[in-house]
A and B are shown apart, each in its own frame.
Chain A
Amino acid sequence: MKWSRRFVERIIEGLFTLSGGVTSLIILLVVLFLFREGAGLFTSPSLEKGYTLCVHASNLTGEIDAREVKRIFDGEITRWEEVGAGEMTGEIDVFHASELPRVEDEAVMPRVLEEIVGGRRGIIAFLPDEFLPAGESVVKRLAAGRVTPGDFFAGDEWQPTVSPAPRLGVLPLVTGTLLVSFFAIILALVPGLGVAIYLAELAGSRARGWLKPAIELLAGIPSVVYGFFGLVVLVPFIQEVFDLPVGESALAGSVVLAIMALPTIITIAEDAIRGVPRALREASLALGATRWQTIYRVVIPRASSGITAAAVLGIGRAVGETMAVLMVTGNAAVMPRSLFEPVRTIPATIAAELGEAPSGGTHYRALFLLGCILFAITMVINLSAEFIATRGQGKGEGA
């Protein structure tokens, strides 16, 4: 009897221990899965999945990188001399799979391809794998380039569905995310801090009693509701006031994010201000300082690490916010030049494009790598906020 009870107790305690490690396990799994899919990007072909670039068999050009492929198909490069090491000369004759004739019987496709390529010596053809002729043929496959880290991290074009060579450069997205988030914090910091000071130092217990729950409520409203509000109120407003062609802009995103970041900033900053020991305040007041002088000369400097942590966590919140931003920023994946233009952030890109990206393809993996970047950014932000906050506490003990 007693023995079996001990056994059951052991099992329950084992469950407790397992659950204790569950958050660490989840984070580990997140890292594992995200990075496994994301790292696959650099072994993926830079061409659209299921297609190959082909040239005439007499063409000796070795490899063409993704950027050149795009420029060739855009008509920016027109002569073979401009690519490779000059093995080939003459006009480039571009052929895209979409120009293929319709055939009744798909079995004849390889022959059709041979005819097309065989008749045009300067051709560069973008063809579906399944129809390429097997064995010796006049159709020569070009080695498919891989997506390089340089292309990805330093590329300034994000055009993941362009055929034949999608461009996967994250710079416009990273810039967009940072622009929108930082401006949001600039907008939110002063009011947030003001409210925190008011709540911690000035508000009577009655005012505090209903202001605090109201602010917590502000944090509870779903982001998609903020996005909807931004879409129907803020976007038209911004369009009118600044006389813009479209109201969906970085500015709209920043304002919505600022409203959403306010509760985070207020709550953490208020905690920091309240955490300042009473003795410090009393000493300052006893020296004849007014309450305001005490606040900005004694309390705020003392709470500065907590306030910094509040701002940092606010940025973290803003960087990862998806739906609201997706709905109000207009989502143009170009390098942002001003606050009044549409921009696209990393989370919005993932949300908008993952549904259409074929599983396991280059685009899909690129989106996972974006997820990794986002994860890394927020992880760094959270850890540094934690570091800043605890360092502040350490100082407190010493004083």
Chain B
Amino acid sequence: MNKKLKQSIAFATFRLLGFLVVGVLFYILGFIVYNGAGVISWEFLTASPEEGMSAGGIFPAIVGTLCLVAGSVAIAFPVGVMSGIYIHEYLRNKWVARVIRVMTNNLGGIPSIVFGLFGMALFVQAFGFGDSILAGSFTLALLALPLVIRTTEEALKAIPGSYRAGSYALGAGKLQTIFRVTLPVAMPNILTGLILSVGRVSGETAPILFTVAAYFLPRLPSGIFDQVMALPYHLYVIATSGTDIEASRPMAYGTALVLVAIVLVMNLLATATRLRLGKKTKMD
């Protein structure tokens, strides 16, 4: 009986821990939503910050983040997908494959502030982009790259060899097989990686600190060499160093809620894509 009792105690503890962790998650989310919901309004989303960022809205920051997300994904997605294709479809040398895999994992593990330093040294200074959307997008693309590569690889791995064999048997070449058979089938899972990297990129602060982010710039960018405000940096600024921290608290809650909402939506979207497109390709 004793060991049964031990088991129940242990299992109850684990169950409790599981719900505790989820409880923490919901507490954080709930706290942000509860305090931020009252701030969100049409004006908050479409106006520029005013009065030392304690009033007005966050429109320039939203636009800035959109620019950065679009830019970095436009860079990271094609390169990442091609890289994934190479690793899974072409690479036969086990040793090289291993090196590349280790490198990709390591790139994913490099702290984002190091990317910030690197982006500043390479894109801002060596390439002469200055503090600009271009420099920021390249820097953020470095962060998204491992994510895209890994999901592409996983997606390709999940495709049964018989698909490829069938295509070859019909006389298709390697590239034809990749573009007509492998990629279309793998697309839903690859898109999941794309969407997840959008979520990741939109929340990163450290890489954009020295490559693009502007402290206060209440106008929209006119080109890729412009600086922009960005949501995560804006939140950092108004939470820690605004002219009147207490007065700008509501703005901070609102900004945090918008950021969290973007991440939530992206996560849901990724799941939905996986389910929806996955079903469709199966039916075809």
Contact = CB atoms under 8 A, between A and B. Distances in A.
Contacts of B13: 194
A197 B99 CA distance: 32
A292 B147 CA distance: 36
Report the contact-size class of chain A (Cβ under 8 Å from the partner): 35 or more
B206 interface: yes
A68 to B, nearest CB: 32
Contacts of A29: 118, 122
Interface stretch (B45-53, B102-110, B276-284): B102-110
Contact of B103 (A27, A216, A316, A367): A27
Given A20-B90, A33-B118, A191-B17, A378 B109 contact: yes
Nearest to B126: A33
From B4, B11, B24, B113, name the one whose CB has the most chain A CB atoms within 10 angstroms: B113
B51 to A, nearest CB: 20
A contact face: mostly helix, strand, loop, or mixed: helix
B199 A220 contact: yes
B14 to A, nearest CB: 4
Contacts of A350: 113, 116-117
Contacts of B10: 292, 295-296
Given A26-B142, A231-B240, A20 B117 contact: no
A335 interface: no
Contact of A198 (B17, B113, B146): B17
A183 interface: no
Interface in A356-394: 359, 367-368, 371, 374-375, 378-379, 381-383, 386
A232 to B, nearest CB: 8
A316 B206 CA distance: 16
B85 A382 contact: no
B209 interface: yes
A19 B86 contact: yes
Interface in B14-61: 14-15, 17-18, 20-22, 24-25, 28-29, 31-32
A23 B149 contact: yes
A326 B236 CA distance: 10
B239 interface: yes
Contacts of B135: none
Contact of B14 (A13, A194, A259): A194
Contact of A220 (B103, B233, B235, B267): B267
A241 interface: no
B14 A20 contact: no
Contacts of A37: 121
Contacts of A382: 105-106, 109
Residue of A20, A203, A262, A320 most packed against chain B (CB within 10 A): A20
B125 to A, nearest CB: 7
Contacts, number: 247
Given A194-B18, A224-B232, A367 B264 contact: no
A323 B103 CA distance: 25
A135 to B, nearest CB: 36
B4 to A, nearest CB: 7
A16 interface: yes
B129 interface: no
A33 B17 contact: no
B230 to A, nearest CB: 10
A324 to B, nearest CB: 10
B217 interface: no
A327 B113 contact: no
Interface string B205-243: 110011000000000000000000000110110011000
B7 A290 contact: yes
Nearest to A229: B28
Contacts of A217: 25, 263-264, 267
A323 B117 CA distance: 14
Interface string A200-238: 001100010001011111101111111111011100000
Contact of B236 (A23, A203, A227, A374): A227
Contact of A371 (B6, B117, B146): B117
Q: A-B pairs with the 4 shortest C-beta distances?
A: A320-B111, A222-B203, A20-B86, A194-B17
Given A222-B259, A354-B209, 8 more contacts: A16-B86, A18-B82, A21-B100, A23-B145, A220-B203, A220-B267, A225-B203, A347-B113
Interface of B: 3-4, 6-7, 10-11, 13-15, 17-18, 20-22, 24-25, 28-29, 31-32, 79-80, 82-83, 85-87, 89-91, 99-100, 102-107, 109-118, 120-122, 125-126, 142, 145-146, 149, 173, 175, 196, 199-200, 202-206, 209-210, 232-233, 235-236, 239-240, 249, 252, 256, 259-260, 263-264, 266-267, 271
